[in-house]
Amino acid sequence: MGYEMMAGFDSGDASLGGLFFSAFVSATLAPGGSEAVLAYLLSRHEIAVPWLLGAATLGNVLGASTTWGLGFLAARRVGATLSGKHAKALESARRWGVPLLLFSWLPLVGDGFCFAAGWLRMSFPASVAAIAVGKFARYGVIVFLFG
């Protein structure tokens, strides 16, 4: 029996934690590669798929919720104007509302959608629900392709 098992620590715990962290960071304004981490862990067949799907989705939803919160706080501090790509995300969010957050998983623009939703003070529960559906579906496709 190895030290890890005697200490009550399983390498799967570290893998799930790493996946969660990668998914969280990927959903904030920082770049990340949680899809690659998920695909790798799926290929190892060491952790049940529902646990992997849950860790990735939860981490990504919490990260996107953090970005929503940053948008909310920024609107209070900066005021009602944004420029550049932020203004474009803001206009899209005004036009499409909460359903736009189903696409918060998209590279480059998804984080902006979450930020804009917070900036516009869209309903937080509705925003989180739409974000969760989109993120779960995206990771579901990864599971289907690599699982």
Let me know the angle formed at the C-alpha of 59 by 114 and 141, rounded to the nearest 5 degrees. Answer: 85
DSSP 3-state of 66: helix
Q: Are 140 and 53 in contact (CB under 8 A)?
A: yes
**This prediction's pTM:** 0.86
pLDDT number for residue 107? 86
Which pLDDT score, from 0 to 100, does residue 11 have?
A: 58
CA-atom Rg of the chain in angstroms = 17
CA dihedral (93, 95, 100, 106) positive or negative = negative
Q: With a cut of 50, which residues of the chain have pLDDT below it?
A: 1-9
Query: Which pLDDT tens digit goes with each residue over 56-81?
Result: 999 999 999 999 999 999 998 876 66
Residue 99 per-residue DSSP state: G
